[in-house]
Copies of this chain bind each other. A is one copy, B any other.
Amino acid sequence: MDTVTDTLRTDILSGRFEPGDRLLEIQLSDHYDCGRDAIRSAFVALTTEGLVQREENRGATVRRISLTEAIQITEARSVLESLIAARAARIATPEDHNELLEVIAQMRNAVAKNNGAEYSELNGVFHRRLREMSGHEIASQLVENLRNRAAHHQYRLAVMPGRSADSLEQHAAIAAAVVAGNEDAASAAMGAHLQSVIDVLKRWGDLPASPSQQHKTQETD
């Protein structure tokens, strides 16, 4: 039903449209081969998701997220993903445990090969599987949305030298706590992980983003 909305969302997240870009109804309805209705509908949905900004009679643009907003988004993610980690630690099955450890092993491998793209991909898998095994629909939906909103900022972390090594150990700690069934430790490990993301964002400050970044399908933190 909302296939146009989904397509536009992924196109925004993938960097096809950059923050500040104008989104013209006719142009998009032509590009996606659909009516203006579908585009307008997508604008409304993506506006409430925080990805698009609309102004009366002036059209829609890709929303620009400030650094302070990105930090707040990560703070919210921190408490929600901590809840998810605790929940996963409580109810994950042995199969879940194996899968989690397997992902960690692959991440370790990717770091050894210095393959940033693969690491980012695995990172996304790790968090997504944790959400799924937590069974917490509400928190998962909110986190997914928050990740999307800050995608542009998170991307910077992917290209930060030495970041992967730190990130890897943090993820390993989360996985260990979940496997041990220790809710508090899982929650704390996830909190520490995202706190380090916040620290990096803060340290980064408002340095200009590296200019040439086309394929922004990566997700890293």
Contact = CB atoms under 8 A, between A and B. Distances in A.
Nearest to A149: B138
Interface in A124-141: 136-139
Contact of A49 (B40, B48, B73): B48
A82 B44 CA distance: 30
Contacts of A49: 48
Contact of A79 (B45, B73, B80): B80
A83 B25 CA distance: 39
Nearest to A143: B76
A194 B56 CA distance: 39
A28 interface: no
A148 to B, nearest CB: 12
A41 interface: yes
Interface residues of A, number: 25
Given A1-B54, A1-B56, A142-B142, A75 B44 contact: no
Contacts of A1: 54, 56
Contacts of A146: 138
B139 A76 contact: yes
Nearest to A55: B1
A136 B74 CA distance: 12
Interface in A72-95: 72-73, 75-76, 79-80, 82-83
A218 to B, nearest CB: 23
A54 B69 CA distance: 31
A138 B69 CA distance: 8
A80 to B, nearest CB: 6
5 contacts: A41-B41, A69-B137, A73-B138, A76-B139, A142-B142
Given A72-B137, A72-B139, A76-B138, 9 more contacts: A48-B48, A69-B137, A75-B83, A75-B136, A75-B139, A76-B80, A79-B80, A79-B82, A138-B146
Sorted nearest first, the 10 A-B pairs with minimum C-beta distance are A79-B79, A72-B138, A48-B48, A44-B44, A1-B56, A76-B138, A79-B83, A76-B139, A45-B48, A41-B44
